[in-house]
Structure 1
């Protein structure tokens, strides 16, 4: 059923008011969020994982109780990154189905349609996935030519919209031709930190043109994004978790390194042999007291928590015991609470080059979600609950409504753990206190609606934007 849409001006005005009215450090049991990075966009929508600390949390609330509507914007692309700037405009970084070309889309905040698009130079499968919005609503990403780009959206003379590369800084001097940048994040001095698949970690200052880098030990790869906080820059390689800092000229140095159990091989439902986590800063005092990742131990993975400043291990807790014990997703972490979702056995249609064989060769997608709480005195951690929720997206915790938002993948035959191209997908809200699913909305069935363990973002106006293999879903109040 079609209905009259509000004007774009009204939508943007409402978005601006909501951003101003929603505190970055929401009160309640899930607080504080990581410190706001002055060189990034709004908390909750500036990065794939919400903020530069990668909390996978947002101060913005999702849809209110009642009926829900959903609409799919078809872009013939997989869209793992959907961000929203301070101006209320969503920016999606997608990869075309045919040609695997990274493409930026500016979406209409009122209805989700693409207002403008800009293809980027091709790189690796994971290159062009992680990006962020800066404090001027520009998308910061590295293209296949190893150039650091700031992409802005602007009005045209005809009153439409266009996307353009506002600045470009080559990284080829430190990133080899056979390598690709997998993650970028700004630090508190305005430099852009980056990490590559082959283990190069560097800083780039596009105000001065300075680019500095170091290489991690031989054989260590970086398959996920990176996180920044006042304490430093967190990187999880296929062997260890690091905290790094920059010298006066921007040259990275290792503050601490903690190896983890990487298991006998890549688990089914993961994209690399090692942790699937983008490291997450969290904590009850500053929002950056701790750093957490999930290891790749077999048969059961562990949530690992470290003190961010020193690297001292706080705990190692077995998680995802009820379902499949493996995760390609970054944990949600706010205050003392950490949530881990299973991707074990998820059927990815394509793996990155060099991913290697799975060990074991295959596994059922049973699902799983665990909550671990760090004790108030910091003496350790405790598993609070563990279930078999079959999340097909990276879950997002809203401190604005107190719910976890995700998408569930159901089997065609109820009660089984089989997967097929006909599987149904449903938007879901989960009670973080119990792990119980409290509301669902059927989205559709089949490949068009596969969320492929991609992240959903909650936009101003209680709108959920969820990437799929073919575009972006827009979930709103009915």
Structure 2
């Protein structure tokens, strides 16, 4: 699932208040003794497969936490190859906290990121690579933050995935999210005549009241008597309806043209993951079952089929609830995959998406990793007939983790057999990737993960690592910094249109990229993606938009 411990906001009181302006304030690192680079520069070998496009979302690979509507975890561009790697860091918030949970990219290549602080989430518009702040938009604080502070229980925050982290960027570059006040919003950004940028509220709909209970503990409501049910995630279907799910099993749609809202409820079930969409329906996993749904003529969610899974006898260390920790990943036109929560070893489950409510859909149930050391809280990568998954067993969160030897590690590739008779384990890497949402670069065939090495001084040095998707061999690791502030704490890796890898950390955001060796590409990157408050002329803006559109499509403009 992914960014479940999105922000340790209550414990953010322990962090120093920070005030990054437009220029990034770097994240401070503990002393470094670990090597800055391990391995060797890789050679790009593209990984075959098609990219799903969605008519109501930004281009594939740039529009959400998991990259696209399929939650494939695949970016089309070629990410870093480890050629003279550069690392830029930015403290993510002017207030205590700072973690940047989700990163998307507009058609100009700029980052639209959601960062957290003690006062709430904030949308930020950032220049690529330089991480210069162009604009920001404050969202209200989450009730769970206030409740955690009052009750002195940070687990209240750690089990709350609401507030906007599962937002998406639509086809008009607007961030679509539900904030902590149960308002579904579309927030755009634009450049002013002065050259400065701003966010603006394009649309807003209230989901509270009759649809989503919002009697939540907060600074103005110390003793709530009713129900509080925050919205977890939003995503559009292929008809343009905006779907939303809540923690306590409510599933709804909103027609943005008419404002009509329709809803159903999965009684006794929780939804703490994101969900996925294709032209054949909406795929949602609760803590009991996987669902395929569709919208009826009036927008009402309708269950096409339901597949219960082994939810185990209890939730595992670091899990939110007793259920699957994965957002459903759609693969091609035929398959959907999740994991269960079986006690000794979780299982990879692959289902056919077609079939009626009584059809046999399960293709394989494959045990993963070692007995007693098997858990994942992140969505899988799906490309072609291949599935890639990491083991998160032994990790809790950046503020509480003390026993790093408890991290079991493991990263596996599983392929669906062509005759659909089952699945094969292709390889398993021993690399330890405690909590990051990993991503594939289809452009170079590398799987990016985030790992650590404990130094002699006891502090962890953190690395962006890359696995060869074909063989599972570790290609290289790039050191980013040392100490708790560099812990990834469940945020994703995101690959920008220029190939830069972005990693959210407890304190902010990292940009990791190869030093460009092509002078023509370097000049274009400096012109369209370097420091500055915006493009100076309309003609340059159009040129740079064309440049970034080509990079997003991996056409390269000849570079």
Write the distance in 1 (CA, Å) between the matches of 2:346 and 2:404: 17
Secondary structure of the residue aligned to 2:318 is: coil
Instruction: Tell whether 2:284 aligns with 1:241.
Output: no
Q: Report how far residue 387 of structure 1 moved.
A: 2.8
Of 26, 34, 40 in structure 1, the residue corresponding to residue 57 of structure 2 is 40
Structure 1 residue 114, shift from structure 2 partner? 1.7
Distance, in Å, in 2 between the alignment partners of 1:374 and 1:410 is 33
* Structure number with higher helix proportion: 2
2:102 to 81, 86, 93: 81
Q: Measure, in 2, the Cα distance between the counterparts of 1:306 and 1:363.
A: 35
Larger radius of gyration: 2
Shift of 1:30: 3.5
Alignment of 1:79-228 (within 5 A): 79-96=100-117, 98-99=118-119, 101-123=120-142, 124=144, 125-127=160-162, 128-172=164-208, 173-177=210-214, 178-218=228-268, 220-228=269-277
Give the gaps of 5 or more residues in structure 2.
Answer: 1-44, 145-159, 215-227, 516-559
- For structure 1, list consecutive stretches of 5 or more residues without a partner in the other structure: 1-26, 352-360, 415-419
Q: Distance in 2 between matches of 1:152 and 1:46?
A: 14
Match among 325, 334, 345 for residue 300 of structure 1: 345
State the match for 1:399 in structure 2: 442
Native 8 Å contact 1:194 1:226 kept in 2? no
Which shows bigger deviation, 374-383 or 59-68?
A: 59-68
Could you tell me which residue of structure 2 aligns to residue 354 of structure 1?
Answer: none
Contact 2:99 2:116 in 1 (8 A): yes
- The alignment partner of 1:410 has SS state of strand
Deviations 1:250-302 (A, max 9, x none): 100101111111112111132322111000100xxxx1310000111111000
Residue of 49, 65, 70 corresponding to 1:31: 49
- Counterparts of 2:71 and 2:306, CA distance in 1: 19
Worse-superposed segment, 56-65 or 435-444: 56-65
Residue in 2 that maps onto 1:473 = 510
Q: Which has the higher strand share?
A: 1
Q: Which moved more, 1:385-394 or 1:198-207?
A: 385-394
SS in 1 for 2:68: coil
Secondary structure at the residue paired with 1:394? Answer: coil
- Does residue 380 of structure 2 align to residue 331 of structure 1? yes
Deviates more, 1:264-273 or 1:206-215: 264-273
Q: How many residues align?
A: 430
Match of 1:4 in 2: none
Deviation readout 1:334-370 (Å, 9 max, x if unpaired)? 111001111111131579xxxxxxxxx9991121111
Q: Is the 8 A contact 2:312 2:342 kept in 1?
A: yes
Aligned equivalent of 1:8: none
User: In 2 relative to 1, CA 69–107 (structure 1 residues): closer, same or farther, beyond 3 Å?
Assistant: same
- Is the Cα contact below 8 Å between 1:394 and 1:406 reproduced in 2? yes
Alignment-derived partner of residue 317 in structure 2: 268
- Checking the alignment, whether the CA contact within 8 Å between 2:161 and 2:232 is kept in structure 1 is yes
Partner of residue 71 from structure 1, selected from 68, 78, 88: 88
Is the Cα contact below 8 Å between 1:407 and 1:428 reproduced in 2? yes
Please list the CA deviations of residues 134-193 of structure 1 after superposition, one character each: whole Å capped at 9, or x if unmatched: 000011110011111111111234321111211101111311110111111111111111
1:325 CA drift (Å): 0.5
Q: Report the CA distance shift for 1:142/1:325 in structure 2 as closer, same or farther (over 3 A).
A: same
Assess if the C-alpha contact under 8 Å between 1:324 and 1:368 holds in 2.
no
Of stretches 342-351 and 178-187 in structure 1, the one that deviates more from structure 2 is 342-351
Distance 1:180 1:44 in 2: 27
- After superposition, the Cα gap between the structure-2 partners of 1:441 and 1:244, relative to the gap in structure 1 and judged at 3 Å, is same
CA distance in 1, matches of 2:286, 2:490: 20
- The structure-2 alpha-carbon separation of the partners of 1:470 and 1:29, relative to structure 1 and needing over 3 Å to count, comes to closer
Counterpart of 2:364 in structure 1 is 315
Mapped pair 1:49 → 2:92: no
- Contact kept in structure 2, 1:339 and 1:369, CA below 8 Å: yes
The whole-number CA distance in structure 2 between the counterparts of 1:226 and 1:174 is: 19
Query: 1:161–1:396: structure 2 CA closer, same or farther, 3 Å change rule?
Result: same
TM normalised by structure 1 equals 0.86
Paired residues of 1:68 and 1:475 also in contact (CA < 8 A): yes
Distance, in Å, in 2 between the alignment partners of 1:161 and 1:470 is 24
Contact 2:46/2:443 (8 A) holds in 1: no
Higher relative contact order (CA 8 A, sep 6+): 2
1:452 alignment counterpart: 489
Q: Secondary structure at the match of 2:254?
A: strand
Q: Distance in 2 between matches of 1:381 and 1:215?
A: 33
Structure 2 vs 1, CA of residues 90 and 323 (structure 1 numbering), >3 Å: closer, same or farther? farther
Name the residue aligned to 1:23: none
TM-score (norm 2): 0.74
Q: 1:289 aligns with which of 334, 337, 346?
A: 334
Helix, strand or coil for the counterpart of 2:492? strand
Q: Which residue of 2 aligns with 1:410?
A: 453
